[in-house]
Structure 1
Amino acid sequence: MPAYTVHAPGPNGADLRATDNFVFVRDGFHFWAMIYGPLWLLWHRLWLALLGWVILFAAFQAGLSSLGVGRSSIFLADIVLALLMGLEASSLRRWTLSRGNWRQLDVVIADDRDTAERRFFERWSQKQRGIVNDQWAVDRGGPPPTRNVPGQPFSDPPPLPSGGIIGLFPEPGGSSR
């Protein structure tokens, strides 16, 4: 099962308003990054990583051809570079996010991105319950708050039934009538 890292923008990224900007980066091998390395880097706007890839690839090609290595060996070396790109694509993306002042919030294990988002936001919303003035969170577990105002019917708690037992059978072992 793949692991996803969750990144939030800015130094205080755990803000309720920034949830649309959270980025989920899947850890593991990226096939399209291996096949179309530069285009994958452009698509994900990894400009510095693209520049490094172009420089590395050009230097690698120039170095191998200056050593007199055959074309088939250079082709195999290019395949190794492509495999390396597929393996390290997610690391390059996380590195670029960390350079842009994004911070990693969590690591989530899930089958796909949608499940990872659901698991993360379930866990993250549990942690966010302590936020003051959160108008979106509703606690449905307790009774509504009452005010202690004398003479008001909502101020007094409801009276207990006459035997102190609530239910169908007011006495243990008794009948319903």
Structure 2
Amino acid sequence: MMRTLSTQFRSIKHPRPNPNPKLSKSSSPTKSEIKFNVKPKSEPESESWCVYLLLSTNHPIKTYVGITNNFPRRLKQHNGELNGGAKASRAGRPWICACIVCGFPDRSEASIFESKWKAISRRAPRKSENDRLSKQSEDPSLPLLRHRQAALKKVKASLDCTHLEIIWHLDPF
């Protein structure tokens, strides 16, 4: 039994009749009939890329590092006001901006910085339990912010960050 390709492989489509009889295969559409939704490559993006540090305001207090080229929109996504927030950030809602690093020319450079910041944060030792017990009256977010700030200093020492602007919205000290 012989089957046609389109029944065997559903991704292959039969050619459909032309819905616009005015445009035959021999005539091509004019420039006014073609609409482009893509920005020309020579036009720069409206905003540069940034790496951000968020702090949860719900228990358990935690931090989140991410990248974006539109921070206000991304923060709304993390807080559930818009679709598209990261799954890892759902439990800490609402989130506030603790730090933002601006000035990355492209997504690639921002991704490298973000990855390095996360990796150094994971590897860096946390303060001992004795230090935590002695500072029980301290805001529980401060040790987390200090830990991320220490990791950020190591990232700055390992990469060229002269073109970046680092803005802390929450002072870890």
Specify the TM-score bucket, using the shorter chain as the normaliser: under 0.3
TM-score w.r.t. length of structure 2: 0.24
Higher strand residue share: 2
Higher helix residue share: 1
Greater relative contact order: 1 or 2 (C-alpha under 8 angstroms, separation 6 or more)?
1
TM-score w.r.t. length of structure 1: 0.24
